[in-house]
Structures are given as structure tokens and as C-alpha cells.
Amino acid sequence: MAGLMPKPLWIFQVFANFQHVIRGFIVFATVLRFLSLAWVALASGPDPDAPRFLEGDLRKIDFDVSGFHIYWKDRLRLESPEKALKIQIGGIVQVDSGYIGANSPLQGDFPGLQGYNTDFRRLRLTTFTTLYETVDIKLDIDFARQQEIKDFWIGMSNLPVVGDVRVGHMKEPFSLEELTSSTNLTFMEKSLPILAMSPGRDVGALCQNTALNNRLTWSAGAFVVTGSFANMGNAGDRLSHIQGYAFTGRITGLPWYADKGLRLMHTGLSYTYQDRNATNMDSRLKLSTLPESYLTYQRLVSTPSFLNNGMHMIDQEWAVVLGPLSFQAEYVHAFVNADKADDPGFWGGYVYGSYFLTGEHRTYDMKKGFFGRVKPKDNFRFFGVGLGAWELALRYSYVDLNSGKIQGGKERNLTAGVNWYINPHIRIMLNYIHADVRDRAAPPVDHGNADIYQGRFQINF
């Protein structure tokens, strides 16, 4: 089947040749932005009556250069004369730090697990360009650890019947937690089953739309299973050595929606079918997950790589918002067609609850079917009264990677979290995770426990 794949997309190869130029642009843009911010702040002085910490000064960025209008509205925006070209520039900075402790069974099998670590979890630059109100282009690059293309697609919006159409490298429409932006997740990392089994990003074509006054969303796409472009220079190689083909769809509904989202119930169903070649080594399947922490590279549960003909996977979603109180849950099951491995099946799920002590609630995007950014009622301010938003959360997650001849292990995690939203752009997160690992064959783990204490400082715009 790999022979049927066309030559690598030229656009990725061209992009790879300009990675050093892009890096220089990032440095320049960052310096320019902070110089502008410093100039505005020094010129105007502190403003105790500003509605938001820093946001008041950022909103003062509003000027014209060579006909382009440059201003701040949640992120830096540029508009050409007559608005034929619109560019939004945003970014994410996430710095994680913490300690992992493990009992003797895990220390013996994973000697690098225990200890302290500090790391850039994400360091991303995002640009979103609109041409003549019809064509959209998104480019999202992560510079943490190694350069990686996250999103790189071209699309058109508001087309009849099909709605939005996109072509490029993007997330497959699968899982509520997967599709929710990393900056808006309740916990620092996604849950065990989503980390282990969600297809993530691939190259393909996608269409998505809404119905019933945005009470229903649907999306469907066809993808080439390539995995992550963790090295931009190797993007062409990833396209040449494909793992298979995928057809993925998702449908969500709002059976209950009241008070502009203050109270709601979300339900959803995702499905993906991956077609693989049982004789192609590039098509081997491996499912594994980190222990809901990127302070380690050790995957406490993991299947070996094994040949297969394909895989069916379903995901059931449910969430409810009752003002400051909310709950969310998902169940994932993968059915693998692999005769030599006795056609294994893997599954997992999670459930969590969260509560805002300061009265806020989770915001829901009706056009996309997932949750968005939390906006504090009263942002934290150095001068004046303002506490920001405070949230408490508790999650239980489980994944079972044992089936037939495959014994990748079982893991259950209990996670407690505290989130402080200083304003819509800055958040501090604290998570405690107790991980329990059992029944893994290689390396053999009978009853391993780990305690993870981690925190994050996050800026997104």
C-alpha cells in the first residue's frame, strides 16, 4: 500500500528549507513585541484602573505601518488596506517543573524515572492568515525540545453543506479531550487512554459543519497516517514512509444548553478506521503512554510494535456544566485486526470533576464541540482588588494494554489539580498524580507505584 502514496507534498519540503529563516523571524518578532510593550508601559505608566493585568497596556498597541493596521485583540493582529490580508500572531509558553518518586519495582525497571526535572513543555508560535475573507492558512510550530510542525493547513470556511474544508497536517476529529486546546485543558496533560490511543495529528483532508442552530456538530476526514513531524527537515521522509490510511469522523450534540452555556450537557461519538499493511514494517502498531507527565520519557505501559491489517477505534464523550461545577468523561476502545497477535483489543477511560471557587464556569465552543478559554470574573491585579479564577479538580483515568499475546500493562492514575487563572492569558497549574502500574510483561511490572508532583507556568495569546 505504501507504493500507492504520491510523492511527498512539495509544500512541506519547501517549508523545511526555511526553518532557519523562521527561527530568525521568531526572535525578531519576540523582541519587537516586548520592546513595543515596554515602550507603551513606560510612556503611560501603571494604570491601576486597567481591566486586566497587562491586557490594558497591550490594548494600547494600535498603529499603522506602510498601510498595515497593527493592533492587539487577544493576540497581535495585522490587517492590510481594505482587509484583503489578515494575520493573527499568537504563541504558547509552558514551563513545567516537578519531582517523580517511585517504589522499588518501578525504580528497578525504569532507572531514569525518579528525580527532579524542569522543562519547556511547549514553546510555540502560531500564525493564522485569512486571504480575501475566503482562504485560511494556519501554521503552528513547537520549538520546545525539538522543532515540530503541529498544524500546517490551508482551508476555506462557510461553504454550502460541508462548512469548513481543510487540507494539510492537523488533528484528526477524535476525542473531546484531544481536540480541546492544550492551553484550555483542566489538567496539565491529557488522560492515560487519550495519550495512548488517540490518533493525534496526520496529513489529510477534513470537512466540518454545524446543524440545529449549533446544537449539533459533525466532522469527517481522510488521512495518511504519518505521525508527528518532530523534525521539520524530515517531513518529506515521514510522508514517504507512511504507516497506513485513516478515515475518521466525530459527531457531538447538546441535548441541554441554557443561560448562554452556564449550564449544558455535551455528548459525542468519535470513530476511526486505520487501514494498514500487515507485511510492511512501517505499518506496525505500538500503543503506549507517559504517566500523564512529560517530566519523564519513561512509558510505564507500552505494547511492543506488531504487524496488523488495521484497527477500528471508538470514543464516547460526555460532559456537563452546572455553573462552577462540571464533570467530563470518555471511554475509548480499540479493536485491532492482527491474526498473529490474536486480534487484541485495548481500552480505557477517565472521569473527572472540577469546581471554580471564584464562581467562573468552563466555556463551550458550540461551533466546534469542545471547551474553550476560561475568563476570570475579576482578573488578578497588583494594584486594586482582583484574585483571578481558582479551580479545584480531581480525575481518575485507566488504560488496559493487555489482550491476547500482547501484555503491555495496565495503569490507573488518580490526579488532583489546582489552577490559578491570573487572567485569560496567564495560568499557574499544580498537579499531584498517583500512578499504579500492573501486569506488564516486558519489562515485568507486577505492582509499581509512582507519585508525581508537578507544576506549570503558562502564557498563551
- Phi, psi dihedrals of residue 156, rounded to the nearest 5°: -130, 145
Query: How confident is the model over 42-49, as a mean pLDDT?
Result: 42
The DSSP-derived string for 266-323 is EEEEEEEEEE--TT-GGG-B--EE-SS-SS----SEEPPPB--SEEEEEEEEEEEEET
At residue 13, the pLDDT reads 44
Residues in a beta bridge with 404: none
- DSSP, res 9: P
Kindly indicate the confidence band of residue 241, based on its pLDDT and cuts at 50, 70 and 90.
low
Residue 315 and residue 325: Cα distance in Å, rounded? 24
The percentage of the chain sitting over the pLDDT mark of 70, rounded to a whole number, equals 83
pTM of the model: 0.85
Contact of 79 with 62, CB cutoff 8 Å: no
At residue 227, the pLDDT reads 62
Q: What is the pLDDT of residues 55-108, one digit of tens each?
A: 566 666 778 887 888 988 888 899 988 888 999 999 999 999 999 999 988 988
Cβ burial of 180 (10 Å; 0-12, 13-18, 19+) is buried
Q: What is the pLDDT of residues 23-38, one digit of tens each?
A: 444 444 444 454 444 4
Q: How far is CA 88 from the centre of its chain?
A: 19
Kindly indicate the confidence band of residue 165, based on its pLDDT and cuts at 50, 70 and 90.
very high
Q: Quick one: residue 224, left, alpha or beta (phi over 0 = left, psi -120 to 50 = alpha)?
A: beta
Residue ranges covered by each domain of the chain:
2-460
CATH 3.30.2130.10 fits 2-460, yes or no: no
Tracing cell 472521569 back to the chain, one arrives at 351
Q: What is the pLDDT of residues 98-148, one digit of tens each?
A: 999 999 889 888 988 999 999 999 999 999 999 988 899 999 999 987 788
